[in-house]
Structure 1
Amino acid sequence: MSPTDAWLQQVVAEARAAGDPGRLAAVIPYAQTMGISLRLAPDGPHAGELQGVMRFGEQLIGNPMLPALHGGALCALLESTAIFQLLWESAPPATPRTISLTVEYLRSGRPVDTFARGVPTRQGRRVTNVRVEAWQDDRARPIAVASAHLLVHSDEGPVKFEL
């Protein structure tokens, strides 16, 4: 295990012990730059579910004529949520690495906060598949969905990944 993996495992353990996934996103500079944080869903049918939240900022606008969120910003939220979901739920031996990410943009993202959730659909010894969906005001009307394939273990041992 690399020093970075050990450090991240410690951050995950501390965040879990505190019941605060936000601590995990708070130590990742990329997540901070994109305005991505984590929360456990409040009361309701999805209470306790890990959710990624991308706070709206003017820098996230891709088409100022509509205005609409940039597709790359939505992709960042979807990919980050998939990785954070694995770290939070299963604590893999190393930081998951993206093999592929297929995004389907369903409708324009408005200039408001955007939420996402990831659901692992298959977890193998080396690769885990995660289905992720993003929405804004109405969870039943996603604005984008993604299928992520993440490497969690290689033939040489746990994946080595530097943050």
Structure 2
Amino acid sequence: MTTPDPRTELLPPYARALDMVITGLHNGAPLIEMPFANKVQGRPGFLHGGAISGLLEMAAVAAIQHALHERGDEATFKQVNVTIDFMRGGVRQTTYAVGEVTRLGRTMANVEARAWQDDPAKPITIAYLHYLLKRS
């Protein structure tokens, strides 16, 4: 029997397919790392926008899961809206992302997710995601 890897067990299969792992916390939220590889390349030498968008979505999902767990809430959620701002091209190196839950209400959650490579203060992409929360 294989022991689950704590760096990936909270991530869905899509994230694992792109070799994303949770490497720790950044400002209290799960930090996700995605290495550069041919499977995430778009135009030669650059990350594909879909891979970056997927990384941001995974960061947002991990942030909501973490925030819900912290307050002992077992709500489920589904994405209802997303806006992504691409600021610069991601190059041949590891990309990091973190989500910040800006609002966790009774029925809605809002998350801002940022992806960067060299410096968290210089994001390559920022996403604003909105989720509908449902309780049993």
**What TM-score bracket applies, with the shorter chain setting the length?**
0.7 to 0.9
Verify the 8 A CA contact 1:40 1:48 in the aligned structure 2.
no
Give TM-score scaled by structure 2 length. 0.85
Alignment correspondent of 1:83: 61
Q: Identity of paired residues, percent?
A: 34
Contact between 1:104 and 1:144, CA under 8 Å: does it hold in 2? Answer: yes
1:122 counterpart = 2:103: yes
Alpha carbons 1:40, 1:51 under 8 Å: kept? yes
Instruction: Please list every run of 5 or more consecutive structure 1 residues that lacks an aligned counterpart in the other structure.
Output: 1-14, 159-163
Change (3 A) 1:89 1:134: same
Deviates more, 1:83-92 or 1:126-135: 83-92
Alpha-carbon distance, 1:49 to partner: 4.2
Query: How many angstroms apart in 2 are the aligned matches of 1:90 and 1:63?
Result: 38
Kindly tell me: are residues 50 and 101 of structure 1, through their superposed partners in 2, closer, same or farther at Cα, counting changes over 3 Å? same
Query: Which secondary structure does the structure 1 equivalent of 2:52 belong to?
Result: helix
Alignment root-mean-square deviation, CA: 2.0
Q: 1:31 aligned to 2:9?
A: no
Structure 1 position 93, deviation (Å): 2.3
Question: How much has 1:21 moved relative to structure 2?
Answer: 5.1
CA deviation profile, 1:59-109 (whole Å, cap 9, x unmatched) = 111111xx2100000000001110111112213424421111110000000
Larger radius of gyration: 1
C-alpha contact (below 8 Å) 2:15/2:58 kept by paired residues: yes
Structure 1 pair 50–31 and aligned structure 2 pair: CA distance change class (3 A): same
Give the match for residue 24 of structure 2.
40
Distance 1:102 1:48, change over 3 A: closer
Q: Which residue of 2 aligns with 1:54?
A: 34
Q: Offset of 1:48 from its aligned partner?
A: 5.5
Q: Which amino acid aligns with 1:121?
A: T
Correspondence 1:145 to 2:126: yes
- Select the structure that is richer in strand: 2
Which secondary structure state, in structure 1, belongs to the residue aligned with residue 10 of structure 2?
helix
Structure 1 position 22, deviation (Å): 3.9
Distance 1:47 1:103 in 2: 21
